[in-house]
Amino acid sequence: MKITGIDVWPVTMRLREPYTIAYETVKSTVNIFLRIKTDSTITGIGCAAPDLMVTGETPESALKTLNDTVEPILKGEDPLRYLKILEPLKTEIKNQPSVLACVDMSLYDIVGRYARLPLWKMLGGYRKCIKTSITIGIMPAVETIRKVKEYVAQGFTSLKLKGGQNVEEDIEKVKMVRGAVGKGIELRFDANQGYSVEDAVFFVKHTEGPQIELLEQPTPREQSDLLGHVTMRTPIPIMADESLMSLRDAFRLAKGDLVDMVNVKLMKVGGISVALMVNAVARAAGLEVMVGCMDEAALSIAAGLHFALARPNVAYADLDGFLGLEKDPTAGAVKLEMGVLYPGDLPGLGFDFKE
């Protein structure tokens, strides 16, 4: 089998409900879709979610790279030898992780279709489904309570609150949410780099009663050592998100014993192949792993889900980035039932576009 070319196209998707985090308000997203064509009937599909603030890419730069750099490299290659393609590609498109992730998942999709197996089984098949948290952006307390009650009524049992702009307001909001949902709901908190070490310690101390399950990326990503200071001074798990952009970052965080957990996002690290290596580093260091996402179409969420289902130490999922996207061309690539995610039924990533 040989690769004959690619199709690439952007899709703008508005969010039914815009949300706010510590450093921006998001109203829409642009995802780039990829189809890798071969000289057989098998094709592979993938998705990139470029984000200037997180991945350092724009939709325009992603499109240009896929058309000008990626396609010439892919043409004539055997897609079943995916690592032979991906390793040199990492050098050619350095610092463009969502583009690499897009190509990576497309190649894995081809391999799965060729083997007639869903990807999660090919990669290990540890579990068939996984619970996901759902995120509530920064909003007034009254609206926050309304949203959490709505999500709990839909069957979600794990909620992630965003904050980082005002630590005292964050503490009060956590207490109000816990009072509204009771003790049976997991609460996670993401400060999106908005805290100092002192803020983070103060936050944890004053939310002991409400029982926060974990605190995600409290301090700026450029200063990973600050995460270590928070970890040493707090009793709950501290998780790195923005501070984990590569395999090297994973090794540095593990070696320095800076965190208790890591959030692995395919769009940040460069796809499934790198995520598997990051996960291996985390497991060797005794770190728990959560698979996360950004504002991604269901196809991209499916890739993260297959990775999560395959590995036993990926114990947490935050794969809600497809919810609320209008006109997602890959809607149905994953199934959500009472807060639990299931993969599609087809081989590979479990989805194909309708002609």
**Residue 353 belongs to a domain:** no
What pTM value is reported for the model? 0.95
**Residue 349 belongs to a domain:** no
Instruction: Tell me how far apart the alpha carbons of residues 15 and 19 are, in angstroms, rounded to a whole number.
Output: 9
The confidence score (pLDDT) of residue 124 equals: 95
* Ramachandran region, residue 44 (left: φ > 0; alpha: ψ -120 to 50; beta: rest): beta
H or E element, residue 276: helix 272-285
Amino acid in the structure at residue 200? A
Query: 10-38 as b/e, with b when 16 or more CB fall inside 10 Å?
Result: ebebebeeebebbeeeeeebbbbbbbbbb
What CATH number has the domain bearing residue 139?
3.20.20.120
45 and 186 belong to one structural domain: no
Label the pairing between strands 334-337 and 340-343. Answer: antiparallel
Amino acid in the structure at residue 346? L
**What are 48-66's pLDDT values in tens digits?**
999 999 999 999 999 999 9
130 and 275 belong to one structural domain: yes
Give the number of other CB atoms < 10 A from CB of residue 337: 9
Beta carbons within 8 Å of 223's beta carbon, 6+ residues apart: none
Quick check: 19 and 137 in contact, CB under 8 A? Answer: yes
In the listed set 116, 141, 164, which residue is the last one of a domain according to the structure?
A: 116
Residue 332 DSSP symbol: T
82 and 224 belong to one structural domain: no
The confidence score (pLDDT) of residue 118 equals: 97
In the listed set 66, 98, 116, which residue is the last one of a domain according to the structure?
A: 116
Task: State the chain's mean pLDDT as an integer.
Answer: 96
**Residue 54 belongs to a domain:** yes
Quick check: 74 and 40 in contact, CB under 8 A? Answer: no
Instruction: Tell me how far apart the alpha carbons of residues 232 and 221 are, in angstroms, rounded to a whole number.
Output: 17
Strand ranges of the sheet holding 334-337, from the earlier edge strand across to the other edge? 130-131, 340-343, 334-337
224 and 80 belong to one structural domain: no
103 and 133 belong to one structural domain: no
60 and 162 belong to one structural domain: no
Query: 48-87 as b/e, with b when 16 or more CB fall inside 10 Å?
Result: bbbbeebbebebebbbebbeeebbeebeebebeebeebbe
**Residue 292 belongs to a domain:** yes
Please tell me the total count of domains within the chain. Answer: 2
316 and 185 belong to one structural domain: yes
**Residue 48 belongs to a domain:** yes
Strand ranges of the sheet holding 44-48, from the earlier edge strand across to the other edge? 3-20, 25-38, 44-48
**Residue 354 belongs to a domain:** no
Query: 102-137 as b/e, with b when 16 or more CB fall inside 10 Å?
Result: bbbbbbbbbbbbbeeebbbbbbeeeeebbbbbbbbb
Q: Which residues of the chain have pLDDT under 70?
A: 355
What crossing angle do the helices spanning 197-205 and 224-233 adopt, rounded to 10°? 30
Beta carbons within 8 Å of 47's beta carbon, 6+ residues apart: 31, 32, 33, 34, 102, 105, 296, 297, 299, 300, 303, 330
Quick check: 45 and 109 in contact, CB under 8 A? Answer: yes
**Residue 294 belongs to a domain:** yes
The confidence score (pLDDT) of residue 355 equals: 58
The confidence score (pLDDT) of residue 139 equals: 93
Quick check: 112 and 122 in contact, CB under 8 A? Answer: yes
**What are 295-349's pLDDT values in tens digits?**
999 999 999 999 999 999 999 999 999 999 999 999 999 999 999 999 998 999 9
**What are 270-285's pLDDT values in tens digits?**
999 999 999 999 999 9
Q: Which residues pair with 13 in a beta bridge?
A: 29
Boundaries of domain holding 61 = 3-116
3-state secondary structure 299-312: HHHHHHHHHHHHCC
150 and 231 belong to one structural domain: yes
H or E element, residue 146: helix 141-153
184 and 234 belong to one structural domain: yes
In the listed set 96, 116, 136, which residue is the last one of a domain according to the structure?
A: 116
Tell me the catalytic residues.
162, 190, 216, 241, 265
199 and 315 belong to one structural domain: yes
16 and 146 belong to one structural domain: no
32 and 165 belong to one structural domain: no
Q: Exposure of 347 by Cβ count < 10 A (0-12 exposed, 13-18 middle, 19+ buried)?
A: buried
What CATH number has the domain bearing residue 17?
3.30.390.10
**Residue 352 belongs to a domain:** no
